[in-house]
């Protein structure tokens, strides 16, 4: 049975994680500021980051991943350039054959998945992680690469 694609606000309402009046307020803020809805919902205190991750995992039937203590091979990280990882808020976590597993804060972002596939040539398997963990992981992994380059020149 094929599911219709739902927006984040619809999923949160369906799972009882937010009230409709809060969605309306958040959407109004989004129209005024252009900020991402998930960011607004978290900053306004309507939902927790973990609620959004849980919501995506349940709806898409894909696993979550915690990146807090995650360690990755530098060669795997390099598959996706830093500017792309920061732009789409994602981190490459593994590669096997022609499959690339990517931790994303928004696995419904088809444009990101399509761009990663076009850029790398790999089929993308999304997993879900908190935006804050992805941001920290990108800083940690790519900062590490920049430090290593700096040491080679000294």
User: CA 123, CA 151: separation in Å to the nearest integer?
Assistant: 34
Question: Which pair of tokens denotes residue 4?
Answer: 């219709």
Paired sense of beta strands 90-96 and 99-104, if any: antiparallel
Q: How much is the pTM?
A: 0.78
Q: Which residue has the higher pLDDT, 145 or 106?
A: 106
Going from N- to C-terminal start, the domains of the chain cover 8-60, 74-153
DSSP H helical segments within the chain, as ranges? 8-14, 20-33, 37-43, 49-60, 74-77, 82-88, 110-120, 131-153
CATH 3.40.50.300 holds for 74-153: no
Is 126 in contact with 110 (CB distance < 8 Å)?
no
pLDDT in tens, 47-100: 999 999 988 899 989 989 988 878 878 889 889 999 999 999 999 999 999 999
């Amino acid at each position: 049975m094929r599911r219709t694609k739902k927006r984040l606000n619809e999923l949160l309402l369906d799972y009882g994680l937010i009230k409709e009046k809060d969605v309306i307020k958040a959407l109004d803020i989004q129209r005024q500021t252009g900020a991402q809805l998930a960011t607004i919902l978290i900053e306004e205190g309507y939902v927790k980051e973990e609620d959004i991750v849980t919501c995506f995992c349940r709806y898409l039937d894909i696993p979550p991943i915690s990146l807090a203590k995650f360690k990755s091979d530098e060669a795997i990280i390099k598959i996706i350039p830093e500017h792309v990882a920061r732009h789409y808020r994602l981190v490459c976590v593994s590669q096997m054959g022609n499959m690339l597993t990517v931790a994303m804060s928004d696995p419904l972002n088809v444009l990101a998945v399509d761009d990663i596939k076009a850029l790398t040539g790999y089929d993308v398997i999304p997993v879900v992680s908190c935006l804050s963990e992805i941001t920290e992981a990108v800083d940690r992994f790519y900062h590490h690469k920049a430090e290593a380059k700096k040491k080679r020149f000294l």
